Each structure stands twice: as structure tokens, then as C-alpha cells.
Amino acid sequence: GSVTAEEIRRYADDNAATLRLNTVASLIGIGLLVYFVSALGRQVRLRQHGSTASNAMLSLSAVIAAQSLHLTAVNSIFAVPSQLAQVSDEGVVTFYQIAAAAEWLYTLTIASAGMLLVATYSWLALRLRLMARAVAWAGFVLLLFLNARRP
């Protein structure tokens, strides 16, 4: 079914604090992801000089970060009801529809880039002995579990 601008505004008003917290948490998470993957990439470069795998990991994290930032930006207007109040009813519904499309794209991006990132690091961790083998294998088990749950 379709949703009205009034319903969207009411939801934003009722959940403004949670939506703001989600926005801030997402921005912090994006920064931490890039920092964490940079540290993992450094670990790979120290063990395997000239490896392009660390660049691949950074590129995958950049794709995830960019899509996460896009989704956060699209949804951020709902976190500030005073700004949402300045938008026409048609605009509110359009933002809602854009947010739904951004969520769908986010899911696709995170599923593919995230699984490739985990697979790449798990493989490198096994190959270069960067961590306990059981932990590296757990990354592959996680991939199988997540892939089985994909629609």
C-alpha cells in the first residue's frame, strides 16, 4: 500500500530521537569501518609487500562506506522533523520513496561488497597466517550462512 505524507510526518515526529541516534551511529560506523579495514590492509601489506589485495579491501570498504553514507544522507531528513515540515507533501512522499530505493540498493551493495571483503580477508588471513586459523575459517562459515539467507 501507499503511505501518506501525514503518516510519514507523524512517524518522523514520534521517532525523531531514534532516527537522530541512527544517523549519528551510522556516521560513526562508517568512519570505524574505513579505519578498521585500513588497519587490516596494513596488516596484509606488512606481510605481503606489493600485494593488491589490501587495495581491493580498501576499495570494497569504500563502496560500502559510500552506499552507507548515501543511505544515511537520504534518511537524515526524517530525523529532523522541523526540516521535514518545510517540505511539501509530495516532496515528503518522494523522499520516502527515495529512501526505500536507497535501502534496497544498500542491501544489494552490502551483501555483495561485504561478502567479498570478508572472503578476501579470510583468505589472506589463512594464507599469510594473520590470525588464528579457526577465526579465519569462521569468516568463511559466516559467508556461507549469510549467502544461504539471501533471497
**73-116 pLDDT per residue, tens:** 999 999 999 999 999 999 999 999 999 999 999 888 888 888 88
Question: Mean of the pLDDT values across residues 133-144?
Answer: 89
For cell 578476501, what's the residue?
120
- The three cell numbers locating residue 55: 587495495
Q: Tell whether the model's pLDDT for residue 1 goes beyond 70.
A: no
Q: How far apart are CA 64 and CA 62, in angstroms?
A: 5
pLDDT > 90: percent of the chain: 59
Query: In the prediction, which pLDDT does 151 show?
Result: 60
Closest CA relative to residue 34, chosen from 57, 6, 10, 3: 57
The length of the chain is: 151
Q: Are 75 and 23 in contact (CB under 8 A)?
A: yes
The pLDDT tens digits for 45-82 are 888 888 888 889 999 999 999 999 999 999 999 999 99
For cell 532516527, what's the residue?
19
